[in-house]
Each structure stands twice: as C-alpha cells, then as structure tokens.
Amino acid sequence: MSALEKLRDRMAELSDLSATQMLAAWDQLVMMPAEGAPARAEQLGTLARLTHERSTGEEVGEWLTELDEAPLDGLDADVVRLARRDWERARRVPIELAAELAQASAQGQESWREAREADDFAAFAPALQRNVELARAYGECVAEAGESAYDGLLGDYDFGLSTEDLRRVFSALAQGLTPLVAEASAHTPHRTLAVPVTAQEAAVAGVLRRVGVEQESWRVDVSAHPFTAWIGPRDSRVTTRYGDGEVESLLSSLHEFGHALYERQVDPALDRTNLGSGTSMSMHESQSKLWENHVARSRSFAEVLASELGDGGFTVGAEELHATLVGVQPSLIRVSADPLTYPLHIILRFELELAMIEGTLAVADLPEAWREGMDGLLCVEVPSDALGCLQDVHWGGGSFGYFPSYALGCLIAAQLWEALERDLGPREQDLSRGETGAIQAWLAERVHRHGRRLDTLPLLAQATGEEGLAVEPFLRFVAPLAGC
Amino acid sequence: MSALEKLRDRMAELSDLSATQMLAAWDQLVMMPAEGAPARAEQLGTLARLTHERSTGEEVGEWLTELDEAPLDGLDADVVRLARRDWERARRVPIELAAELAQASAQGQESWREAREADDFAAFAPALQRNVELARAYGECVAEAGESAYDGLLGDYDFGLSTEDLRRVFSALAQGLTPLVAEASAHTPHRTLAVPVTAQEAAVAGVLRRVGVEQESWRVDVSAHPFTAWIGPRDSRVTTRYGDGEVESLLSSLHEFGHALYERQVDPALDRTNLGSGTSMSMHESQSKLWENHVARSRSFAEVLASELGDGGFTVGAEELHATLVGVQPSLIRVSADPLTYPLHIILRFELELAMIEGTLAVADLPEAWREGMDGLLCVEVPSDALGCLQDVHWGGGSFGYFPSYALGCLIAAQLWEALERDLGPREQDLSRGETGAIQAWLAERVHRHGRRLDTLPLLAQATGEEGLAVEPFLRFVAPLAGC
C-alpha cells in the first residue's frame, strides 16, 4: 500500500472510532441503565485512548513525510493537509499533560457539581485554578507560531480565528446590543404560554416531519439536555425535552435538526475521511442557530408551529406564539436566555476566561468580576454564585475557548441567512407553508458539502461572498425583537 | 510497566472493545434507523479489525515470553494461561485466510438469503462449497496437536470438547430420544393458546421483575429475534418478541435472562480481564436452557406464569398453560421445535456438517441427506429445501461447529438442575411462588463466578461432582413430556 492509501485507511478507521464514541455517548444519555455508568466510562476511556494512539502514532508522521513532495489532486491534498495539521497539533501535547488534563477535567467537574450545589465558590476555586493553569499550558503547547495560549485553545474549536478577531467582533456586538437591551425591557414584555406536553410532542413530531425527519434514517428521543449525535451519514439522532407549560422543545428540536442536517449534507465523497464532518464549533452552532433563530423564531414559521400545536390539541394564534418565542427579558441564566441577550452572556464568559488564561484576572476575583459584568452588560443583579459564575459546567471540565462559538454561531447564522435571502429571495412565503427545501439545498451547496475542506472564515467568505465575521446582520435580526 | 501489567492493560482494552462491539450490535438490532446499516457495517468491521490487531500483535507474544518463567498467583496465572492460548490460536490463522473467511461469510449469507427465498439449493451450493473448504482450512490451522479440522472448529466455541465426545454423547441421546418421539406423538397432542400480545407483555414484565430484572441495571426491548447483550456487569439487555396468540415470549424472555444472569454473576475480580465472561457456547446455552426448560417449563412455575397472564387480562389455568409449554410435536423447523425434539434437529446438523468438513458428504448431496435424516430421527417428511437444509443461516455465514452447543446446552442444563436439586432439595415449592433466589445463588457459586477460569468439562465436573457430559438427566427431564 502507498503512504496515501495507508493514511486514508487510518483516517477511515478514526472516523469509525469517532462514530462509535458518539454512539456510546448517545446510548449513555438516552438508553443506558443508570448502573451501567462505571463500565461505560471505562469503555469511553478506552476508545479515547485508542483514538489518541492511532491518530498520533509515529507511523502517521512517516506517511506524512513520504507525502511531503507527492503531487496530489484536490481531495487527497486536503486529506493530507488536514491530517498533517491535526497530527502536528496532537503531537505537541506531552503525554503527561494530556493525562493530567483528563484527570483534572473529571475531578473539576465533580468539584464544580458539589460547589454549585452548596453555592460555595471557594470550594471550587482550587480545581478551577488547576484547570486554568493546565489550559494555559495546553494552549501554549498547541499554539501555532506567534500565537498566544488563548489562540491555541481557540484553534481546537475554530481553527484560524484569533483572540484579536474575537475581541474586535465581540466589542462591536456588545456596543450594538447594550442599547437594544434597554429598549427591549421597555417595549416587549416577556410572555409565557402554558403548552401541555402532549401538544408539544405532537408539534415537535409534526414540524420535524415537515423538514424531512423520517424514521428510516433518523431517531428523535428524549434526554435531560437536548443534543445531536451523528452515527452515520444516514443515522442522525436528535434529542429534545418537554417541560410542562413551556415552548422550548419547539425551538430546541429545530436547533438540533440544524446540527444534524449539517453532518448529513457533507459531500459523500468525504465520508470516512478526516474531512467528512462539520468544520468548526462556530460553524456548527451557526447551523443550529439558523434553524432556531431564522426559521423557528420567524413570524412566518409561527403559522406552521401554531398549526401543529393546534393538531396537538392546543389552540394558539401565530402572532401570540411568535411573540412568546421572541420575547426579550434580561436574566441570570445563559441556557434559558432570549435570542437578543444570549450573546451578551457569552461575551462576559469570553472576557473572563481570556483574562484568567492571560493571568490578568485571579480565580479568586471571578465572582466579583462576574457580578460587575452582568450588571454592565445586562443590568442584572446576581444574587448568588450558583446563579452566577457557577452556572456552567465548562470551566469545571477544563473547557476554555469553547464559549465564543455559541455567540459566533448567532452572528454567522445571521450572515448566512442574509446571503441566502439575497440568493433565493425572501423566505416568508415558503416558511409560512413550512417549506424549507430551498433553504436546505442552499445550505448544502454553500456550507455543508465542504466538510472540513474550508475552515470557518474561508467557508463563510465563500458562502456569503463577503470577508470576515460581521455583527450587522445579527443586529438587524434582533432589532425588531427589541421593538426597534 | 511489567509484562504482566502490559498484558492486563491490553486485556482490559480488549474487554472494553468487546463491550463496545456488543453495544453497536445491540443498537443495530434494536434502535438503529434502517438506513444506518452500511455505516454500521463499516464501524463493526473497524472494531473487529482493531480487536484482531490488538489481540494478535507481536508485542503480546513478547509479553507472554517474558512471563514464561514468572511465578504467578492463581488469578494472574489464569490470565496468562488463557491469553497464551487465545494468542496462539489466533496467530495460527494466516491473514489472507482470515480475510477470505470474512468475505465468504458476508457473501455466503447473501447467497443463502436469496436461495432460501427462491427455494433453490443449487443457487446456494457454490457458496456453501466455498464455506466448507474455508472452514476446513481454518479448522486445520487452529487445531491443537493431534486434533482434526472439526475439533479445531469446535475449539472456538467449546474448548476442550472433541468430535469424539460429541459422537458418543449425541449417539446416546438419539438412541434415548427416538423412542420418546414415537411415544409423544401418541400421548401428548400439541396445544396452542391464543394469548393476546398485551397479556404477554404484562406477563413478561411481571416475570422478569420477579427474577430481579430492574431498570437500574437492565433493559428489556423488542427485536426481530430475541437475544442478549452484556454491555457491562450492571448493564444487561435482553430482547424478546411478541407473536399474536403465541406463548413463545414467556419462554424466550427467561431463556435470555439465563444468558444475562451468567455474565452478571461472574466474579467482579475478573471484570475487564480475559476471564470475565462465560466460558463457552455450550455452557452459555446451558444457562439459558436451565431457565427455559427447568424453570419456565416446570409445572410449579406455570402457577406464576398463569397468575401474571391473569394480571395481564388473560385467564388460563396453570395446568393448561403448562401443557401448552411442554407439548411435543415433531416438526420441520428447529427454532420452533419443542423441548424433546429440539436436540434431534441439532444432532442432524452435527452429523451433516461433520461429514461435509470431513469430506464424506458432498455439498450437492446435502438436501437428500437432510431428508433422510429428518425421516430417520423425527419421522418428518421434508417438502422443500427452504423448510429443510436452507432454514438456518449458520452454514451460509460460515459457522461450523456452532450447532452442537445448542444441544449440549440442553444436556448440561439438565445435569446442573439435578445437581442443584440434590444440593438445595426439590424446587417445586419455591418455583410455585416465583422464588428463584436460591437457584441464582447456587448458579453464581457453582457456575457463573468462575468466568473463563474453567473450561466446559472441568466447570461441569466441579459444579455437579460428576465427570463428563451425560444424557440421562435430560432424558429424565423429557420422559414425562412424552407421557412416559
């Protein structure tokens, strides 16, 4: 076998291992009996170790060296380019550091869980301190030449984005959003709608059927937190949850559908290569946010949602439903934030985690900085750390550089949506009839099919015809929600 | 790390990979959307290749050589002994042969499916011919010194059993059963009971609850064919199926429970070693058959089953239910055979596959030999090959040496049951109240906890206090069913 064949065989193997890990994780959250947890942790640990060993082995480096001068066509050239990048990044991490990161992540999550329960930040501070130091060390290891530690961390989630890019775009975003928050608080009272679970279930099933979710190649299940698993190109699994008297399930099921659709529409030629999945965290989040914000929260699609709820036995007008889905209300908790204030929660986390990694914010000062930030960005007073800086698992698990993708997803979704409407014309009419075929085809062509062949920024430029991240499309999307 | 530590780490990894394969297979049959099949086949193929590579690597041989002279305590000595045996057997198979076996298995199953559909044995004959030749070559490779090809094949399922053992025991079994079949046909008319699916579901749930199946560490699902998956010591998954107006689900759910219980009660000290699972196919089948034949088909337990069916809305007397569960009726199809004639179906398959592997029966002559065998053993006339020698997938998939374990399971179950009643006293009273705790504890102590530390025959001798396979206990079990 040639070096290229060996490399492609290995990439196929790693792709299968990744699918297997996703299956084991899906099963753990959806099907596994509770007492299966310890054995599952061992199984997932073994799959992760094998994946690490098979992706960082010396032999991969030898194949890559052999391929240094080889004339390769487009697809093979990209396979080799990404394989080299991934291999080099992984090889920069000493084994001892990788082991310590894994251990600190498990212990930090446990410490975080207890501290949040007890509303006791001091109990979590040592674990957080350790996670910050390890993340800084890790970021320095993987950083490309000339990059900072935080740049290095970002690269794992969004290769090619710099801390400077984020500073610039988040500063503009905060500037644009802060006045809207004040407007919104004055104009659009938050509403609730007491939708029974049975009506939600009927509506979720009906809406997902309309966008193409069929049992031959999808599963829809319930889990504690909604998520998506892609086990194969024709084996997509989304989950949702149903809170009594809530409407979150309508939004979250289309949000998860967006993630799944991205993976399903990657070019089949990339299947079982290292290019055959979504290119980055922010681009993935843009796909879920596009369906959540620009489809599910549109006035037109509210007609469809109201009709499906009606079929489920709950009568509501499209106008009232829409108002509920887009109501703005500054609040304490990120995961239940409205579409306008959501990115401000992320900007706060970005600023704080960046300062911790750069060493300009001491871990002990985090709670106070959090309070100040919430006050400054959202005019919200934080009554406790449990409802403040202890609300998310990410830092307890050692994830730094991950939060930004949530806000970038909102921005990119809005940029893509404007480009899509420029190309296809306004979508109101189609959406009011529940027709999304043209949207799905546009996304397949402009975004999905490329897989990992293009990184976030080149992919965005190619899809929209414009360079770089921009905040204006998102601000144009949220302005009406603030009553402006 | 010492050679022993490296070996034990590798065994833990292989144990996790095996659990992962079982999960992927369970998911495929129970949860996976249909169009996920091609990707799942790739994933399972990758897991199998990785397992092969990690279990047969040169490095394993080096660790074993280092351990040749090492003084080892009981458990470690068994870990090394079995690791050496497994490694040596696997290494005897040339890579090309292993690859051809895998390919022939897939193609043979496809050919078998089409041939059975069309009732066209000639269309299947070439694939069967190839499978026989490959199995013979494989058996010769893995056979221990002095063994025949068929001995070698048997060793994969039941290490330590010889073709000669089987000839002797199956000959005695046929001799004992044949007169009973004639008796049965005269005395016990076959009965049916039209139990609605809802009542079956309620009874299966109720009975499984009584034997200890709780949702914290079990799953019970529906699949096309009942089977059991052990994903972890506390993650057992059985499946069943419900045919309208049938009672099979009552038997098959306890049958699968027996498989699951075996794996759950292996000594926790063997967890994640190469000793931590059931020791052989026949011993596994004995565990399922013990619950199917000696519990579910007992007159006492019929009280419990009838009561559970009653709770499910179907009224039937225990006497009538029991008569239905033990009715004898010679028939064409193995999987639906009654407990008395079942082993005769296996004896026929054993004789025919042995003759094909030994070269004394030409593949072309199989249909005729099948007809003669069914007539001689069961006095049943075979109207077509689809209902004759094409009914089972095994030979199409290349499995030879597997069938005997089904009959051995019946024999061993009866031997164990007599030993158990010698130790604990008659079980009638407990069974009529649905109490099986003492049975489970006896099985744990005498059979389950040993895992793979004892092979079939030593384990059986240790559990029963008697040497060797015996047919008398089984004949004593079935004689009353024949009205004798």
Q: How far apart are CA A112 and CA B31, in angstroms?
A: 34
Contact A456, A158 (CB under 8 A): yes
Name the token pair of B199.
């009542």
Q: How far apart are CA B74 and CA B63, in angstroms?
A: 18
In this prediction, residue B127 carries a pLDDT of 97
The residues on A that touch B, with CB distances below 8 Å, are 12-13, 16-17, 19-20, 23-24, 27, 31-36, 38-40, 42-43, 45-47, 49-50, 215-219, 231-235, 272
Angle at A469 between CA A463 and CA A474, to 5 degrees: 90
Residue ranges in A312-403 assigned as alpha helix (H): 318-326, 342-358, 366-378
The 10s digit of each residue's pLDDT in B125-176 is: 999 999 999 999 999 999 999 999 999 999 999 999 999 999 999 999 999 9
Q: What's the pLDDT band for A105 if we cut at 50, 70, 90?
A: very high
> From the candidates A8, A42, A95, which should be mutated to test the interface with B, based on the most B CB atoms within 10 A?
A42
The 10s digit of each residue's pLDDT in B324-365 is: 999 999 999 999 899 999 999 999 999 999 999 999 999 999
Which amino acid does the sequence have at A399?
Answer: S
To which H or E segment does residue A236 belong? strand A235-240
From B12's Cα to the closest Cα of chain A, the distance in A is 9
Bridge pairing between strands B218-222 and B235-240: parallel
Contact B244, B49 (CB under 8 A): no
Contact: B32, A217; criterion CB under 8 Å: no
User: How would DSSP label each residue in A389-447?
Assistant: TTS-STTTTT--S-THHHHHHHHHHHHHHHHHHHHH---HHHHHTT--HHHHHHHHHHT
Residues A305-312: contacts with CB under 8 Å, at least 24 apart: A305/A203, A305/A207, A305/A250, A308/A202, A308/A203, A308/A206, A308/A207, A309/A195, A309/A199, A309/A200, A309/A202, A309/A203, A311/A202, A311/A203, A311/A206, A312/A198, A312/A199, A312/A200, A312/A201, A312/A202, A312/A203, A312/A206
In this prediction, residue A95 carries a pLDDT of 87
In this prediction, residue A189 carries a pLDDT of 65
Chain A's closest residue to B18, CA to CA, is: A43
Q: How far apart are CA B363 and CA A298, in angstroms?
A: 68
Lowest pLDDT segment from A159-163, A189-193, B108-112, B202-206 = A189-193
In this prediction, residue A484 carries a pLDDT of 77
Provide the mean pLDDT of chain A: 96
Q: What's the pLDDT band for A184 if we cut at 50, 70, 90?
A: confident
In this prediction, residue B184 carries a pLDDT of 85
Cβ-based neighbours of A202, under 8 Å, separated by 6 or more: A308, A309, A311, A312, A313
Contact A392, A128 (CB under 8 A): no
Indicate whether B119 pLDDT > 70.
Answer: yes
Chain A's closest residue to B44, CA to CA, is: A16
Q: What's the pLDDT band for B188 if we cut at 50, 70, 90?
A: low
Looking at residues A120-147, what average pLDDT do you find?
Answer: 96
Q: How far apart are CA A360 and CA B475, in angstroms?
A: 83
| Buried b / exposed e along B264-295 (16+ C-beta atoms within 10 A) | bbbbeebbbbbbbbbbbbbbbbbbbbbbbbbb
Could you say which of A256, A263, A292, A351 is catalytic?
A256
Helix (H, G, I), strand (E, B) or coil at A348: helix
Looking at residues A296-320, what average pLDDT do you find?
Answer: 97
Q: What's the pLDDT band for A191 if we cut at 50, 70, 90?
A: confident
Catalytic positions of B: 256
Task: Give the CA radius of gyration of chain A.
Answer: 22
Contact: B235, A49; criterion CB under 8 Å: no
Contact B128, B108 (CB under 8 A): yes
Beta-carbon pairs below 8 A across chains A and B: 113
Chain A's closest residue to B47, CA to CA, is: A17
In this prediction, residue B95 carries a pLDDT of 87
In this prediction, residue B484 carries a pLDDT of 77
The minimal CB distance from B47 to the residues A20, A27, A232 is found for A20
Chain A's closest residue to B41, CA to CA, is: A16
Q: How far apart are CA B45 and CA B59, in angstroms?
A: 23
Q: How far apart are CA A169 and CA A415, in angstroms?
A: 13
Angle at A174 between CA A170 and CA A177, to 5 degrees: 130
Lowest pLDDT segment from B111-125, B187-201, B384-398 = B187-201
Q: What's the pLDDT band for B281 if we cut at 50, 70, 90?
A: very high
The residues on B that touch A, with CB distances below 8 Å, are 12-13, 16-17, 19-20, 23-24, 27, 31-36, 38-40, 42-43, 45-47, 49-50, 215-219, 231-235, 272
Nearest to A331 by CA among A116, A122, A185, A166: A185
Indicate whether B246 pLDDT > 90.
Answer: no
Lowest pLDDT segment from B51-65, B175-189, B413-427 = B175-189
From A51's Cα to the closest Cα of chain B, the distance in A is 11
Bridge pairing between strands A235-240 and A228-232: antiparallel
Contacts of B49 in chain A (CB under 8 A): 13
In this prediction, residue A267 carries a pLDDT of 98
In this prediction, residue A188 carries a pLDDT of 62
* Rounded (to 5) percent helix, strand, coil in chain A: 65, 5, 30
In this prediction, residue B355 carries a pLDDT of 98
Task: Give the CA radius of gyration of chain B.
Answer: 22
Which amino acid does the sequence have at B3?
Answer: A
Q: What's the pLDDT band for A185 if we cut at 50, 70, 90?
A: confident
Bridge pairing between strands A235-240 and A218-222: parallel
Contact: B23, A19; criterion CB under 8 Å: no
DSSP classification of residue A269: G
CB atoms within 10 A of CB A468: 12
The 10s digit of each residue's pLDDT in A378-392 is: 999 999 999 999 999
Largest pairwise CA distance in chain A: 69
In this prediction, residue B482 carries a pLDDT of 87
